[in-house]
Chain A
């Protein structure tokens, strides 16, 4: 999908929305699957975002500075006997981009005022 400069494509917007929703529930950091699950639950769909689509978008958002990531302490997955997670955080820039996208979508949804001519 070709993007307009300074805008987010739908999957990026979904990720930022999901990240904001997770943060409002107290989870500042989240991993890829958590994001996919949150997006799926919000859209009420069973099939989660495809691996390639999700992780490519996450990489893009990190490159744009809207997300930050780190690998969790290896002691935790070793103790819990599972693979290590890459944990993402929504940055201040990500917050601003999300706000901007919300404002833009609200403006687009608002009906345009019709120009009316005054009666003679």
Chain B
């Protein structure tokens, strides 16, 4: 098993633990066991069909991500929360995420790539690239003549 596949399976298990937390033990354990069984079946079936571990990982993650909304709605149904409230929360979360992405993108455009901002270079933190050592230093400008110095 590769790290990517292990991470995808761990993500699916972690998410299942999160959205089933604080539920009635019978419902919680049934859902966790069902997802565990599905993860195993998908892995075995894909392996038999000759799929690569990365492909299985991507498939697992996509199935996980595309079902997040339904997972939350299922939880709401089980806890007798009105689905409308959950739907509104989901829309609000999606809108907040879009605003955050827009804000982050605008910040990254505004930040000078090579200079520190308030002591922390945000771009360097997000893209920790090594400095390029092979760039030759710029040649020193020729010394100013006496006339030019007087003019300045």
Beyond the given A33-B42, A33-B45, A48-B42, please list 16 additional residue pairs across the A-B interface where CB-CB is below 8 A: A32-B34, A32-B38, A33-B38, A34-B41, A37-B45, A51-B38, A51-B63, A52-B66, A52-B72, A54-B67, A55-B34, A56-B73, A82-B44, A83-B36, A85-B37, A85-B41
Is there a chain A Cβ closer than 8 Å to B31's Cβ? yes
Q: Chain B nearest CB: distance from A96 CB in Å?
A: 25
CB distance B40 to A52 under 8 Å?
A: no
A residues 46-62 in Cβ contact with B at 8 Å: 46-56, 59
CB distance B67 to A50 under 8 Å?
A: yes
CB distance B33 to A59 under 8 Å?
A: no
Residue of A nearest to B70 (CB): A52
For B16, B42, B62, B67, the residue with the greatest tally of chain A CB atoms inside 10 Å of its CB is B67
Cα–Cα, bound, A31→B30 (Å): 13
A residues 69-88 in Cβ contact with B at 8 Å: 71, 82-86
Residue of B nearest to A46 (CB): B59
Which one of B38, B44, B67 lies within 8 Å of A53 (CB-CB)? Answer: B67
Is there a chain A Cβ closer than 8 Å to B93's Cβ? no
What's the interface size class on A, roughly?
A: 20 to 34
Cα–Cα, bound, A110→B35 (Å): 40
Write the residues of chain A forming the contact surface with B, with a CB cutoff of 8 angstroms: 31-34, 36-37, 46-56, 59, 71, 82-86
The residues of B that contact A71 with a CB separation of less than 8 Å are: 33
Residue of A nearest to B73 (CB): A56
Which one of B33, B59, B70, B74 lies within 8 Å of A83 (CB-CB)? Answer: B33
The residues of A that contact B63 with a CB separation of less than 8 Å are: 47-51
Is there a chain A Cβ closer than 8 Å to B68's Cβ? yes
Cα–Cα, bound, A50→B35 (Å): 11
Q: Chain A nearest CB: distance from B66 CB in Å?
A: 4
Q: Chain A nearest CB: distance from B70 CB in Å?
A: 3
Cα–Cα, bound, A53→B67 (Å): 5
